[in-house]
Structure 1
Amino acid sequence: MIQLITLDMAGTTVTDHHEVEACFAMAAQKSGLTVSDDRILAMQGLHKYFVFQTLWEEILGTTTHPEWQMRVDNSYRVFTEVLENHYLTHDITPTEGCLELFEYLHIHQIKIALTTGFYRKVCNIILEKLGWLEGLDDTHVGTASTTIQASITSDEVEKGRPHPFMIQKAMNLLHISDPQQVINVGDTPSDIQSGFAANCRLSVALSNGTHAADLLTPHNPSLLLGSLHELIPVLEDLRTRS
């Protein structure tokens, strides 16, 4: 029986018009980092500080370069300023089928945990604007009556995606011991990989987020769906067979 669904935020449960990529590209340009749009897209879903570490290492050739740390920190600082301003000043909406899925999960007492490569401040800006922060405690855990039951950011675990730690933290917070009772859902290759790393029952990919189907298929997701709405019949089938 499925007890928990872990879902990515930007592009999966939160509508994303490639604004994260745009914010990243703007921060890169402002901080002197040369990077292509395709490279930025390929690293979606990863912790953004790690992304800047990786990109500056590629440019400078090594992490021991005397300017590497300074450039990483500066790029990340500019990115956080751009990103926070964007989400504070723009509308934020759920993705297609998200609210319908949440309603189904509540009816069938399946817990909802949102995971994200964002850091806590930006995550909370988004959650608050959507009304999903209401009722969560200081550890960002809710109750059966809150919209979501847990929120986990990549800066709150040892390592972000593609590692399994955010999913495993959600399981621990919500007292789920068996990963075969968990379905992970996301719209990036790193989302898929984290679900497999956590040994989830299914690691589901969505093609209506940041990555099109042809970019997700090579990573062999358990299922490739067009929207969260399509997950409901999958869950219904699992429920009736359990």
Structure 2
Amino acid sequence: MPPIQLVVFDMAGTTVTDQHEVERCFTEAAAQTSLPVSPERILAVQGMGKRQVFQMLWAEQLGEQHPELERHVNTSYAAFRHILETHYQTQGASPTEGCLDTFAYLHKRGIAIALTTGFYRAVTDIILEKLGWLDGLNEQHVGTSDSLIQASVASDEVAEGRPAPLLIERAMHLLGVTDPKAVVNVGDTPSDLLSGQAAGVRLNLGVVNGTHSLDQLQPHPHDQLLASLAELPAVLEAL
């Protein structure tokens, strides 16, 4: 097996603290635009591309061929974007438990850090700026070994979001990593884990202190479930 060259982390709920704010933004946007959806359904689609979620939810209500489908999707997505961006601009963001210590561990060992997300680029950059994690990234959102993170990939930069593997594969491409067995994937949602499985990564890990609990993640493909990112260095040491 090759040595680990890259760890790909999800953002909200994995590296960025999420007290179900994204779900509340979805709920508010759905209510504003008369989209009937349960809290359980909203939780189930966390981690996926956000426009993709509204496309799926409205198609469930209206049917794939409904002439008004795209109009409803666009209206709900626009409402969600406004609510979400306002939230992060006014409330800010903070790292999850063990995140920065784990980043420091990876830096010391020359292992690259990439962040992937179901968010689109505009709100991704709002969050990264609030955290100070945009520093050192170029126009492609690629940094150097001295940057806190080495790459950021948003859902609107790939043809298909999670559970497809394209976010992980784009992070690998940007950082010149060719073998998925040199990659670890870490996320807090079923779609994160399904994406890691589809990418064929060396280790596909879930954290249970984000949006989903141990019981909720257990049925989905994973190599290990962690209490928090604080446990990741020990897992990598065991390799």
Query: Which residue identity is paired with 1:124?
Result: D
- Contact conserved, 2:11 with 2:115, CA < 8 A, in 1? yes
Query: Which residue identity is paired with 1:75?
Result: S
| 2:59 corresponds to 1:57 | yes
| Correspondence list, 1:1-242, <5 A | 1-60=3-62, 62-238=63-239
Q: Distance in 1 between matches of 2:125 and 2:99?
A: 18
Q: Distance in 2 between matches of 1:47 and 1:116?
A: 8
Point out where structure 1 has 5 or more consecutive residues left out of the alignment: none
Q: Distance in 2 between matches of 1:83 and 1:91?
A: 11
What's the CA shift for 1:80?
A: 0.2
Q: Distance in 1 between matches of 2:86 and 2:13?
A: 19
What's the CA shift for 1:230?
A: 0.4
- Contact conserved, 2:112 with 2:150, CA < 8 A, in 1? yes
For 1:127-182, what per-residue CA distance to the aligned partner results, in whole angstroms no more than 9, with x for missing partners? 00100001100000000000000000111011010011111111111011110000
Could you say what secondary structure the match of 1:58 adopts? helix
- Contact conserved, 1:63 with 1:69, CA < 8 A, in 2? no
What's the CA shift for 1:220?
A: 3.1
- Contact conserved, 2:194 with 2:221, CA < 8 A, in 1? no
Could you say what secondary structure the match of 1:219 adopts? coil
Q: Distance in 2 between matches of 1:192 and 1:120?
A: 22
What's the CA shift for 1:66?
A: 1.8
Could you say what secondary structure the match of 1:118 adopts? coil
User: TM-score, normalized by length of structure 2?
Assistant: 0.98
Q: Distance in 2 between matches of 1:52 and 1:82?
A: 15
User: TM-score, normalized by length of structure 1?
Assistant: 0.97
What's the CA shift for 1:54?
A: 0.8
For 1:81-102, what per-residue CA distance to the aligned partner results, in whole angstroms no more than 9, with x for missing partners? 0000000000310000000000
For 1:192-230, what per-residue CA distance to the aligned partner results, in whole angstroms no more than 9, with x for missing partners? 010010100011001000000111000131100000010
Q: Distance in 2 between matches of 1:134 and 1:106?
A: 15
Query: Which residue identity is paired with 2:4?
Result: I
Could you say what secondary structure the match of 1:146 adopts? coil
Q: Distance in 1 between matches of 2:220 and 2:95?
A: 25
Q: Distance in 2 between matches of 1:121 and 1:26?
A: 20
Superposed CA RMSD in Å reads: 0.6
Query: Which residue identity is paired with 1:92?
Result: A
- Aligned residue pairs: how many? 237
Query: Which residue identity is paired with 2:15?
Result: T
The worse-fitting range, judged by mean Cα deviation, of 211-220 and 12-21 is: 211-220
Query: Which residue identity is paired with 1:39?
Result: R
Q: Distance in 1 between matches of 2:12 and 2:153?
A: 13
Could you say what secondary structure the match of 2:13 adopts? coil
Q: Distance in 2 between matches of 1:31 and 1:234?
A: 44
Q: Distance in 2 between matches of 1:220 and 1:156?
A: 25
The worse-fitting range, judged by mean Cα deviation, of 112-121 and 65-74 is: 65-74
> Identity over aligned residues, as a percent?
58
User: Which consecutive segments of 4 or more residues in structure 1 shift more than 2 A?
Assistant: none
